[in-house]
Amino acid sequence: MSLISTRDLTKAFSPAVVALDNLSLDVSPGIIGFVGANGAGKTTFIRILLGLLAPTSGSAAVLDMDVRGDQMAIRRVVGYMPENDCLPIDVSGADFVAHMGRMSGLPFQAARERAAEMLRHVGLHEERYRLIGGYSTGMKQRVKLAQALVHDPKLLLLDEPTNGLDPAGRDDMLSLIARTGTEFGISVIVTSHLLGEIERVCEQLIAIDGGKLRYSGPVAAFTELTERLVVELDDESPDLAAALRSRGLDVDGNATQMRITVRDDSTYDVIRDAAAELGAPIARMHLTRHKLEELFRDQVVAHG
Amino acid sequence: MAETTAATAKAGALYDLGYQRYTGVRLDRANSVRTLFGFSFRTAFGLGRGARSKVIPSIILGIVFIPAIVSVGAASTTGFVTLINYAGHLQFTSFLIALFAAAQAPELVVTDRQYGVLTLYLARPITGILYALSKLAALIAAMMVLTFGPQFLLFLGKVFIAASPWAAFKDEWTILGPLIVGTLTVSAFVGSVALAISSFAGRRAYASASVIGFFLLVPAAATVIRSLATGETKRYLILAHPINVITGFANWIFHIEAKRRTQVGRADLPGSYYFAVMLAVIVVATTVLILRYRRSEA
């Protein structure tokens, strides 16, 4: 069964503003990261899956249900956590999550029980009887996750779930997402503009930029694609870069700092040998990530 | 059996009972509509909300019910059975329910938009149009409590204070038809206008001000324009005045002769004209409301 399948999916808000450009994807169940810079079309994609936006052309299906014809059936089995604020202030967390469960078709008693269960799962206990207006950002994010889970969906769509959280809160949210995906057996699509945090919890990755598909596949391969070794030198050593290039490495940078693509462990040996030969004073070496934007720019250049 | 995880010790928080899939019954879309209706109906009275949300509804409930309660109470102790008449009470409440609609219609639709809750609703199995109609039905039902409630109390009072309740019921029961149609029409008239206006506001205060403005400025404007007009035009311009329309309609449905000196009395139009205007306004306001939420259907 295909989790999500799109064919030439295009959404143009106007001829000049194309949010999604001929996107063709096939995603199988699991925890899927959906990355792209702000404005890349992530939210548009999710809203189309929910039937909240109509595609301009092309088709999209969620769990083999068409987004145009079966949107009500899709919404029954999908839980959605929007990026922005979406909670009322003067209702208690318990009441609100139960209400949302009933909206999705759960009977009154079942909705109350599942609301309590889900709020406990996300880590809200006695607070759930207080009004949401008094919650911290982290607690609100938890309520947002709980309301997306209350009707036991087959697929969770989480739009930037770590937005506005402090580092500890981000960690909590990410491990909560990982647990939900692995232990509950619910497929999760989680969007982020931060590649670093998303690859920790995801098995598959989809990257889009400017509405175009850039990558779709396992996380590991994408990590290799984006990882760079930064070598900093104490003193200028103009020959080192050339020496490394002659040994087959992909190097860019200047005489005191360069970025090198790591192919495998032998890359480190090559650098060590070249530096020893030239007497280049290496100050430090560390792994870094391309920013998403840089990566896409590079790829455009490479393809062009 | 609650087995605790390592996280429990750290955060004193997570009890891992394991995840239970939901295997029970899943209800249809009508259930979602009923749920939204019920939740919104309670919201209109501030139920399930903070204490502050209950203040205005409680005050208005008090004002519309107290005269009816006092009237029935006084009649039962003195045995003197002259109660407030239905048409009079409907006119008396028309301004109060406009106030209620101005205060509570924004609670039903503006906050959902302002805080983004609408997005969550529309991600559930319900369409934008059904959302709007559920909200409208909830507001009208809440206003029926204010319009029909006290009237029904007066009805019960008249029946049970009478020496022979059964005879009194046989005399009075025919009023129930006009009572229901009358209060429903007035509630739908004020409610649909208030909700349609509120659906365009970004803040509750703007919505309330706009609704109050509508029920104060439109009559004022109608009065001014009317004073400039002459002859037949002048007579028909009474229909542009919402409060006079309610008055004219209430007189018609309860078969009461309009007082000669009032505007309604002088215009002397057939009562059905007022009814027609109200129905037209209800249709227009509901259409506007549907158009406002239709786009969310995609």
**pLDDT tens track for B70-80:** 888 888 777 66
Q: Is residue A45 part of a domain?
A: yes
- Indicate which CATH number applies to the domain containing A80: 3.40.50.300
What would the pLDDT profile of A80-97 be if each residue is shown by its tens digit? 999 989 999 999 999 999
Are residues A298 and A183 both part of a single domain? no
Q: What is the pLDDT of residue B9?
A: 45
User: CB of A110 within 8 Å of any CB in chain B?
Assistant: yes
Which positions in chain B touch A54 (Cβ < 8 Å)?
Answer: 298
Which residues 60-99 of B are in CB contact (within 8 Å) with A?
none
Q: How confident is residue B95, by pLDDT bands cut at 50, 70 and 90?
A: confident
As for how many domains chain A has, the answer is 2
Do A50 and A176 reside in the same domain of the chain?
A: yes
**Does the beta carbon of A53 lie under 8 angstroms from any beta carbon of chain B?**
yes
Å between A223 CA and nearest CA of chain B: 30
Domain segments of chain B as ranges? 29-297
Of A183, A210, A237, the domain-final residue = A210
The answer to whether the CB of A36 falls within 8 A of the CB of A209 is: yes
| Percent of chain B at pLDDT exceeding 90 | 49
Q: B126, A151: Cβ pair inside 8 Å?
A: no
| Residues A78, B123: C-beta atoms closer than 8 Å | yes
On whether any CB of chain A is under 8 Å from the CB of B125, the answer is yes
ipTM over 0.95: no
Establish if B15 touches chain A: CB-CB under 8 angstroms. Answer: yes
Q: Which residue has the higher pLDDT, B38 or B153?
A: B38
CB contact (8 A) between residue A103 and residue B13: no
Question: In this structure, are A58 and A192 located in the same domain?
Answer: yes
Of A54, A104, A152, the CB nearest to B298: A54
Judgement on whether residues A154 and A242 belong to the same structural domain of the protein: no
Rg (CA), chain B: 24
SS3 per residue for A115-130: HHHHHHHCCCCHHHHC
Is residue A10 included in any domain, yes or no? yes
Sheet with A227-233: strands ordered across: A251-253, A257-261, A227-233, A282-289
Instruction: Tell me the average pLDDT across A15-31.
Output: 91
Residue A235 lies in a domain: yes
Instruction: Tell me which of A210, A243, A264 is where a domain ends.
Output: A210
Q: Which residue has the higher pLDDT, B258 or B183?
A: B183
In terms of domains, do A105 and A252 share one? no
Closest-CA distance of chain A to residue B104, Å: 14
Q: A160, A186, A210 — which closes off a domain?
A: A210
- Residue B281's CB is within 10 A of a number of other CB atoms, namely 18
Residue A217 belongs to some domain of the structure: no
CATH number at residue A248: 3.30.70.980
Q: Are residues A39 and A68 in the same domain?
A: yes
Minimum distance, in Å, between the CA of residue A197 and any CA atom of chain B: 21
Residue of A53, A71, A86 lying closest to B117 (CB–CB): A86
Residue A156 maps to a domain: yes
Using CB atoms, which residue from B21, B22, B123 is nearest to A110?
B22
Which stretch of A166-175, A247-256, B35-44, B187-196 has the lowest confidence by average pLDDT?
Answer: A247-256
Record the pTM.
Answer: 0.85
Test B31 with A76 for CB contact under 8 angstroms. Answer: no
Q: Note whether A187 and A57 are same-domain residues.
A: yes
Considering only residues B88 and B155, tell me which one the structure prediction assigns the higher pLDDT. Answer: B155
Please tell me whether residues A51 and A147 are part of one structural domain. Answer: yes
Q: Do B14 and A123 touch (CB under 8 A)?
A: yes
Residues of chain B positioned with their CB less than 8 A from the CB of A87? 115-117
A173 & A56 share domain: yes
Task: Write out chain B in H/E/C secondary structure.
Answer: CCEECHHHHHHCCCEECCCCCCCCCCCCHHHHHHHHHHHHHHHHCCCCCCHHHHHHHHHHHHHHHHHHHHHHHHHHHHCCCCCCCHHHHHHHHHHHHHHHHHHHHHHHHHHHHHCCHHHHHHCCCCCHHHHHHHHHHHHHHHHHHHHHHHHHHHHHHHHHHCCCHHHHHHHHHHHHHHHHHHHHHHHHHHHHHHHHHHCCCCCHHHHHHHHHHHHHHHHHHHHHHHHHCCHHHHHHHHHHCHHHHHHHHHHHHCCCCCCCCCHHHHHCCCHHHHHHHHHHHHHHHHHHHHHHHHHHHC
Question: Quick one: A137 and A280 in the same domain?
Answer: no
Task: Provide the pLDDT for residue A257.
Answer: 84
**A131 secondary structure, DSSP code:** B
Per the structure, the complete domain to which residue A280 belongs is given by: 224-303
Tokens of A24: 């063709």
Give the A:B interface size as CB pairs under 8 Å. 107
**For residue B16, is pLDDT > 70?**
no
Count Cβ atoms below 10 Å from residue A107 Cβ, excluding itself.
14
Chain-chain contact of A84 with B24 (C-beta, under 8 angstroms): no
The pLDDT confidence band at residue A100, using thresholds 50, 70 and 90, is very high
pLDDT of residue B297 exceeding 50: no
Same domain? For A120 and A30 the reply is yes
Name the A residues in 158-217 with CB < 8 Å from any B CB: 183-184
On whether both A243 and A160 belong to a single domain, the answer is no
Average pLDDT, chain A: 87
Question: What pLDDT sits at residue A252?
Answer: 82
* B 27-56: CB under 8 A from A: 27-29, 31-32, 35-36, 39, 48-50, 52-53
pLDDT of residue B14: 52
To the nearest whole Å, the CA of B4 is away from the closest chain A CA by 13
Q: Average pLDDT in the A109-128 region?
A: 92
